Amino acid sequence: MQLLAKLLKALNSDDSPWQLAFGVMLGMIMGLTPFIGLHSVLILFIVLFLRVNLSTFLLAYALFSGFTLLLNPMMADIGESLLTSTDLTGLWTSLYNSTFGQLTQFYHTLTLGSLLFSLILAPFILVISKILVVQYRVRFMQWINKLKIVQFLKGSRIYQIYQTLGE
């Protein structure tokens, strides 16, 4: 209920479709990768410092965290094959010896694999999210707002609180 109210609030807000789409994309990266790591700090910084929609970010984070149960072995395999590739040993070794490399923890198979996987997925998620937001606002927003369940939600205290916070 709370998540649905958040989503409705974001979709119905004046935020640009790109702000919402970036929220989904960054939430996806944060959700698929391990929580502890330099990349998480960087994503948090971008989300807070730039005007990325926080609601879609949190929603996407929760949603994609659930997908890791299925995707983790595959993403760890990607990291494993990259880190054990003899062609890349030189690159990894120099990165490993740098403070930056140590802080990124790239030498953890799941961290590298999931980060790479989510970065490859990122532009697609960004564009698809943007299109979906636009299409929603043009085609479905009015119809959805008329639904009884949505009206009930909008009348709920939680939605009112979100509304107040957003103003």
Residues of this chain that interact with another protein (CB under 8 A) are 34, 41, 44-45, 47-51, 72-73, 76, 79-80, 83-84, 89, 92-93, 96-97, 102-103, 105, 107-111, 113
Q: How far is the CB of 75 from another protein (least distance, A)?
A: 8
Q: How far is the CB of 82 from another protein (least distance, A)?
A: 10
Closer of 90 and 155 to another protein (Cβ): 90
Query: Is 11 within 8 Å of 136 (Cβ atoms)?
Result: yes
Report which DSSP code applies to 81: H
Question: Dihedrals φ, ψ of 33, to 5°?
Answer: -95, 160
Closer of 89 and 160 to another protein (Cβ): 89
What is the number of other CB atoms lying within 10 angstroms of the CB of residue 140? 12
Give the residue from 55, 44, 8, 33 showing the smallest Cα distance to 122.
33
Q: How far is the CB of 9 from another protein (least distance, A)?
A: 17
Closer of 28 and 79 to another protein (Cβ): 79
Calculate the CA dihedral of residues 80, 34, 40, 18 and round it to 10 degrees.
90
Closer of 4 and 83 to another protein (Cβ): 83
Q: How far is the CB of 135 from another protein (least distance, A)?
A: 24
Q: How far is the CB of 152 from another protein (least distance, A)?
A: 32
Six-digit token string for 93: 């070794």
Query: Is 129 within 8 Å of 21 (Cβ atoms)?
Result: yes
What is the number of other CB atoms lying within 10 angstroms of the CB of residue 47? 20
Closer of 1 and 42 to another protein (Cβ): 42
Supply the angle between the helices 54-83 and 17-32 in degrees, to the nearest 10.
40
